[in-house]
Amino acid sequence: MRYIEPHGHMVSRTTDDYQDMVTAGCAAVCEPAFWAGFDRNSADGFYDYFCQLTEHEPKRAAKFGLPHFSWLCINPKESENVVLAAEVISIIPEFLKKPGVLGIGEIGLNKNSRNELKVLESHVDLAARHDQLILVHTPHLEDKLKGTRLILDLLKSDSRIKPERCIIDHVEEHTIGMVLDSGFWAGMTLYPESKCTSARAIDMLEKFGTDRIWMNSACDWGVSVPLAVPRAALEMRKREHPHSWIDRVIYQNPFSFLSQSPNFKLPPVQ
């Protein structure tokens, strides 16, 4: 089995996790910029974090033979401070030249506030000006429905944005339809408690089909499972889905979306 982990916050994980992922068949890991669990106080803090994502973490992953890619932004949880957000966004372009950077993400909304929307708009503008892919985080729990609608409205109102170059992540049963119907890609995040379980993710694949959908573990410093994607693949096998169907969901689909970035290059299989 082979798979791509398209969303993992590996700076929060251990080397054991890298070893387990590679052993399970992981061919590449992609790391969006994330909230550290506390608010950073300055743009300098983000500068260091972007160095970690684009320079240090790829080296750590390479020790396990795993190609590592990254996405850059200031996370929606830190977007209430628009002054800091503007400073952080201004330093991102110099990092877009780094070899493993795939685009702008994970941008989006957290509590659906006016300032979060302003910062999201700035990120979308940055992506459009630099012709970058976009990875969007949708809000948690009770805020997801409203946030997803606001995000889709904003993206659709910008004529420079191509839906096929944007993935709307963390969809659930009440948001996946509107995302796919609008032409965007949809990401399903496999969490033990929130977001969705493997069984529900497979239900959605059976209902909506496998086009423009990927699944990820979004493993981070919280309760999350780095092997969630290969475990979901095991559940697909229990449901008697053929190998080709599973491979499309966990490898070919993320490969297709990510290959829209010229920086997404995987070494040839030996």
Partner 1 sequence: MTRVQILDLYFMEARAKLIDLAAFLDRLDRADGDPDFRSAAFNKALKELASTDAERAKNVLLALSDPTTEPVPAAAVKGATGAWAGAQK
Asked if the bond preceding 206 is cis, omega within 30° of 0, the reply is no
* For partner 1, the closer CB: 45 or 177: 177
Q: 């509107």: which residue's tokens?
A: 178
Q: Cβ of residue 153: shortest distance to partner 1, in angstroms?
A: 9
**Residue nearer to partner 1 on the CB measure, 150 or 250:** 150
Using CB under 8 A as the binding rule, whether residue 114 contacts partner 1 is answered as yes
Helices 144-157, 114-129: axis angle to 10 degrees equals: 40
Q: Tell me, what amino acid is at 230?
A: P
Residue of 98, 149, 162, 265 that binds partner 1 (CB under 8 A): 149
- Candidate residues 20, 87, 143, 247; the one interacting with partner 1 per rule CB under 8 A: 143
Q: Which of 217, 208, 215 is nearest to 180 (CA)?
A: 208
The structure tokens 């004529």 sit at 159
Span of 23-31, 42-50, 54-62, 237-245 interacting with partner 1 by CB under 8 A: 237-245
Closest approach of Cβ 109 to partner 1, in Å? 8
Which position has the token pair 């889709």?
Answer: 152
Mark the segment that binds partner 1 (CB under 8 A) among 21-29, 83-91, 137-145, 244-252. Answer: 137-145
The first and second tokens of residue 209, run together, are 């089909």
Part in contact with partner 1 (CB under 8 A); list of ranges 3-11, 21-29, 43-51, 171-179 = 171-179
Backbone angles phi, psi at 159, to 5 degrees: -65, -15
Q: Amino acid identity, residue 254?
A: P
Q: Does 239 bind partner 1 (CB under 8 A)?
A: yes
> Would you say the C-alpha torsion 122, 146, 76, 33 has a positive or negative sign?
negative
User: What letter would DSSP give residue 132?
Assistant: -
Interface with partner 1 in residues 51-80 (CB under 8 A): 77, 80
| 117 is an interface residue for partner 1 by CB under 8 A | yes
Told to check if 16 binds partner 1 by CB under 8 A, we report no
Contact status: 223 vs partner 1 (CB under 8 A)? no
**Cβ–Cβ under 8 Å, residues 233 and 24:** no
**DSSP H or E stretch at residue 44:** helix 43-51
Count of residues in contact with partner 1, rule CB under 8 A:
29
Residue 157 touching partner 1 (CB under 8 A): no
Binding residue for partner 1, selected from 139, 163, 187, 226, defined by CB under 8 A? 139
CB of 114 to partner 1, least distance (A): 5
Among residues 243, 258, 173, which one has the least CA distance to residue 212? 258
Selection from 137, 62, 129 nearest residue 92 by Cα? 129
Cβ closer to partner 1: 56 or 238?
Answer: 238
Site for partner 1, rule CB under 8 A:
77, 80, 110-117, 139-146, 149-150, 172-174, 199-200, 203, 238-240
